[in-house]
């Protein structure tokens, strides 16, 4: 089962400007949605004694400053939830993992970035010659859901072309 629902709040960088209701809405969809989706999938998987649950996190869960506060907080929560669920549901042979993609050119990310698909890729790309496409994330999810990953649980698979490990303002490899 793949939990892929998610929303992002208005891009406000100052905590003093953030509306509590908007913050709660993002956490409600992103975290509570993942929790409930997993809970209901587990109701079917526990009696079967096997299963695989994948939840979408984000590179925002492993680095600061990439996205607004509520979205970042929600994706950190998903990584923690994934790890706890892997321990809990592992007792019944159910694997739980998450995938943390880089910016995928979707309507949500394009609206947040304020640039077109090609602009987002050109400005924020690290792995030269490769462009992250929705299909790349789908392949990572497919791997986590398949028997090829039968002994992988509690893992956060980062699909970002190395972006999260590079500080472009401080690099001898420019």
Beta-bridge partners for 100: 158
Number of other residues whose CB lies within 10 A of the CB of residue 127: 13
pTM exceeds 0.85: yes
Please identify which of the residues 71, 102, 124, 151 carries the catalytic annotation: 71
pLDDT at 114 over 70: no
DSSP string, 44-88: HHHHHT-EEEEEE--GGGTSSSSS-HHHHHHHHHHHHHHHHHHHH
At the topology level, CATH places domain 2-161 in: Rossmann fold (3.40.50)
Q: Which two tokens stand for residue 82?
A: 């994934």
Q: Residue 71's pLDDT is what?
A: 94
Across the range 16-38, mean pLDDT stands at 96
What are residue 2's DSSP bridge partners?
A: 54
Judge whether 2 counts as a catalytic residue: no
Q: What is the pLDDT of residues 29-84, one digit of tens each?
A: 999 999 999 999 999 999 999 999 999 999 999 998 888 999 999 999 999 999 99
> Is 87 in contact with 37 (CB distance < 8 Å)?
no
| Sequential DSSP letters for 108-146 | HHHHHHTS-HHHHHHHH--STT----HHHHHHHHHHHHS
Q: How confident is the model at residue 5 (pLDDT cuts 50, 70, 90)?
A: confident
More confident residue, 46 or 129: 46
Question: Number of C-alpha atoms within 13 angstroms, CB side, residue 123?
Answer: 12
């Amino acid at each position: 089962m793949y939990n892929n629902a998610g929303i992002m709040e208005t891009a406000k960088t100052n905590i003093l400007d953030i509306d509590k209701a908007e913050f709660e809405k993002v956490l409600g969809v992103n975290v509570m949605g993942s929790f409930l989706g997993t809970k209901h999938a587990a109701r079917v998987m526990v009696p079967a004694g096997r299963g695989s649950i994948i939840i979408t996190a984000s590179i925002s869960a492993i680095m600061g400053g990439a996205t607004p506060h509520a979205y970042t907080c929600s994706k950190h929560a998903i990584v923690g939830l994934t790890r706890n669920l892997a321990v809990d549901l592992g007792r019944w042979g159910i694997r739980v993992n998450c995938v943390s993609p880089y910016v995928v050119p979707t309507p949500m990310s394009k609206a947040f970035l304020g640039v077109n698909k090609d602009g987002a890729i050109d400005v924020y790309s690290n792995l030269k010659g490769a462009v992250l496409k929705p299909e790349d994330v789908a392949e990572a999810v497919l791997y986590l859901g398949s028997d090829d990953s039968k002994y992988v649980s509690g893992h956060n698979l980062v699909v970002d072309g190395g972006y999260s490990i590079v500080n472009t303002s401080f690099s001898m490899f420019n």
